[in-house]
Chain A
């Protein structure tokens, strides 16, 4: 009974790891694009703060009508544009997360449908080139959890940012960086290495 279920499970696992590999690449590239945007948020916040610290009426710029209001408006507008771009990046990250979640839950569904017919021995059996099904399911679940957590944390950070909340904007790049979890990211890369023979077979 266990024989016909195993190849289809293997097939589904291969597909999931392929998709994980692609999605990891997309995720990384989106994060790289977010870096400069975060820095420009900080930069704009610094400019706004400098503007608040300066009493325009005591400077050579005093003769310019509405200068402070106009400049502040432009700064807010630029900040809004950057925040908008970041939100666009978030939707790319969201689609990566969704794609991974869908893949993983499809594999688990398939496993549960066949769980009666696949015995424990088959599930835990592994060879030099093929890790056991139970290990691979676990790795997939770990990866899925990582991306889900990462996405929620980043999304939450972005939602706390307002164009007029300067200290939050100034702290944004640091907080954005602190969300990074290189060990989990490395774990996923490790996993992909472990299954590389399996997914190419």
Chain B
């Protein structure tokens, strides 16, 4: 993956040499940006998953601690042990807070990624509108690259953007809830949602590859 992403960022050198200009240039750059943003998202997803796992572990170990405290009997009976456990709990709370803010940082960076994706979408729509203005509602006669018309670029961008938008909403919900959940099953569901990204289906990867193939980033 790293190799691939550097492949495309290295394209800034190719930009001068290749003769692509105008709308085609813009579309090609957008495709590279889509690739890079999706790679960045994956990386953030991995980082976020390990933070979320930490949070769940702290959370679950604390809740079993609470239960043990209840089983022990009334907290007043042994003041020293309860004091020790409460200090342990505040220690745990500080750690939990720390992990939560780290996870929040990651989600914030994911928000930034999706914002950039939205910008790509806007730019794609702009290209489409420009083309309608230049060539009328049917669009240009000859495709910009191999076979796709300009509308198809907009469509694939929309598919990608919709996936990531919805996935981001899911991540934001998980961020809000994960540290307040005591049932291990629900924690597990949060984690597996985070890891498996239900709203980013495997087809998104295919859509991206199609985009890269059409714009010539990947050799035919």
Contacts and interface: CB of A to CB of B under 8 A. Distances in A.
Interface in B185-220: 185-186, 188-189, 191-193, 196-199, 201-202
Interface in A8-59: 46-47, 49-51, 53-54, 56, 59
A59 B187 CA distance: 11
A94 interface: no
Q: Is the interface of A mostly helix, strand, loop or mixed?
A: helix
B42 to A, nearest CB: 15
B45 to A, nearest CB: 13
A71 B195 CA distance: 10
A67 B198 CA distance: 7
Given A60-B173, A60-B176, A60-B177, A50 B193 contact: no
Contact of B202 (A47, A54, A71, A77): A77
Nearest to B177: A60
B189 A50 contact: yes
B170 interface: yes
A85 interface: no
Contact of B173 (A51, A53, A61, A78): A61
Contact of A59 (B186, B201, B202): B186
Q: Which of the four size classes fits the interface of chain A?
A: 20 to 34
B185 to A, nearest CB: 4
Given A70-B199, A71-B198, A74-B197, A50 B192 contact: yes
A161 interface: no
Contacts of B185: 49-50, 53-54
Contact of B184 (A50, A64, A70, A77): A50
B189 to A, nearest CB: 5
Q: Is the interface of B mostly helix, strand, loop or mixed?
A: helix
Nearest to A51: B189
A171 interface: no
A123 interface: no
A86 to B, nearest CB: 20
Contacts of A46: 188
A75 interface: yes
B170 A75 contact: no
A110 B184 CA distance: 63
Contacts of B197: 74
Contacts of B184: 50
Contact of B189 (A54, A74, A78): A54
A71 B196 CA distance: 7
Contacts of B193: 61, 67, 71
A50 B196 contact: no
Given A61-B193, A71-B193, A50 B198 contact: no
A78 B196 contact: yes
A61 B170 CA distance: 8
Interface in A53-99: 53-54, 56, 59-61, 64, 67, 70-71, 73-75, 77-78
B196 A75 contact: yes
A60 B184 CA distance: 15
B198 A54 contact: no
Closest 10 CB pairs of A and B: A50-B188, A70-B198, A74-B196, A47-B192, A50-B185, A53-B185, A71-B198, A60-B177, A54-B185, A54-B189
29 contacts: A46-B188, A47-B191, A47-B192, A49-B185, A50-B189, A51-B188, A51-B192, A53-B185, A54-B189, A59-B186, A59-B189, A60-B176, A61-B170, A61-B173, A64-B166, A64-B169, A64-B170, A70-B199, A70-B201, A71-B192, A71-B196, A71-B198, A73-B198, A74-B197, A74-B198, A75-B192, A75-B196, A77-B202, A78-B196
